[in-house]
Amino acid sequence: MRTRELGGRPRQERTLVPIIPLLALLAAPAALAQGTARQGAQLFTQRCATCHSMGEGDRIGPDLHGVLERRDEAWVTRFIKSPGALIDSGDPVATELLAKFNGVRMPDQALSDAERDSLYAFIRDCTQKGKGGCKPSPAEKMGTDATPEEVARGRRLFEGAESLKNGGAACIGCHDVRGLGVAGGGTLGPNLTFAFARMGEKGMRPALAKLEGPMMGPLYAKAPLDEEEQYAIKAYLADVSRDGSRPRGDRDFFYLGVVGMAAVLGFIGVMFSAPSTRGLS
């Protein structure tokens, strides 16, 4: 199609290709795949990482790095759905795995198709990156699966006995939980004894990652918790929430009153004994 410019000379009309929408359309599948793999990483950490690793060697069960290259996907799906049924059917691979891992049978995993797809996307992504390139975030591990050592570290971080890596303030300055000793924790923020029971894994994990709020936001904006600290504190809060009984609200005031009375009586005793001591000299 030809048009005329103001001077009367014809020019070819140019058709502009909408580059930005085209690039967005091309990038959409990759972004979707990355999002699916991230969901699979969370699922792996929550449901699989207790017994399996991703490129770090066998644990209670086999290392799953590259499992979809070693095994047919349909076989892996059958095994995930019902390992016991596959073993009892005499499947040679399942029988070999049972013998290799000391007769430990994996429980059936009731995953939806979408969850299984995301788990496979994560496994394929990790396989492509190579061993060691896809270690799941420690913060994603279930707080209720923590070892006593991880719970103990969470308590040290909460109390300030162990400093936070980025220099943030210890939780005890504003929060209290059950069993923190005579004086307990601060009262500026809410008591966190039942925070894990109330928020659950899904609520606690992002709360520790973001630390939002009018006070915590500015306080931790430049000193966030690293992923291992997030997990340790989550593990500690999960542990203290196991006891369903309510902490005594007057505990701190009672003990502080006893300590204060002892200090006053001691001071009075010193004051009354001072003149007799001077007289003897």
Give the pLDDT confidence of 91-148 residue by residue, as tens digits: 999 999 999 999 999 999 999 999 999 999 999 999 998 887 787 677 778 888 889 9
pLDDT, position 278? 45
Prediction pTM value: 0.57
**Residue showing tokens 């979408």:** 114
Banded model confidence at residue 180, pLDDT cuts 50, 70, 90: confident
> What pLDDT sits at residue 26?
46
Question: CATH topology for 24-136?
Answer: Cytochrome Bc1 Complex; Chain D, domain 2 (1.10.760)
Q: Which residues, 6+ apart, have CB-to-CB distance to 97 below 8 Å? A: 61, 62
Residues pairing with 2 in the sheet = 12
Q: How far apart are CA 165 and CA 242, in angstroms?
A: 28
Of 37, 241, 239, 49, give the one whose Cα is nearest residue 140. 49
Residue 279 pLDDT > 50: no
pLDDT surpasses 60 at 83: yes
pLDDT score at 275: 53
Can you list the alpha helix ranges (DSSP code H) found in 135-226? 148-159, 195-210, 216-220
Architecture of domain 143-240: Orthogonal Bundle (1.10)
The whole-number average pLDDT for the span 26-50 is 71
Name, of 57-61, 162-166, 217-221, the range with top average pLDDT: 162-166
Residue 42 confidence class, pLDDT cut points 50, 70, 90: confident
Q: Of the given ranges (5-9, 111-115, 192-196), which has the lowest mean pLDDT?
A: 5-9
Over 60: is that where the pLDDT of 267 sits? no
User: Residue 276: is its pLDDT beyond 50?
Assistant: no
Alpha carbons 193 and 210: distance in angstroms, whole number:
20
Could you write out the three-class secondary structure of 78-134? HHHHCHHHHHHCCCHHHHHHHHHCCCCCCCCCCCCHHHHHHHHHHHHHHHHHCCCCC
3-class secondary structure for 203-226?
HHHHHHHHCCCCCHHHHHCCCCCC
Distances (CA, A) of 270 to 185, 263, 266: 32, 11, 6
* pLDDT band at residue 36 under the 50/70/90 scheme: confident
Q: Enumerate the CATH 1.10.760.10 domain ranges in the chain, comma separated.
A: 24-136, 143-240
Read off the DSSP letter of residue 11: E
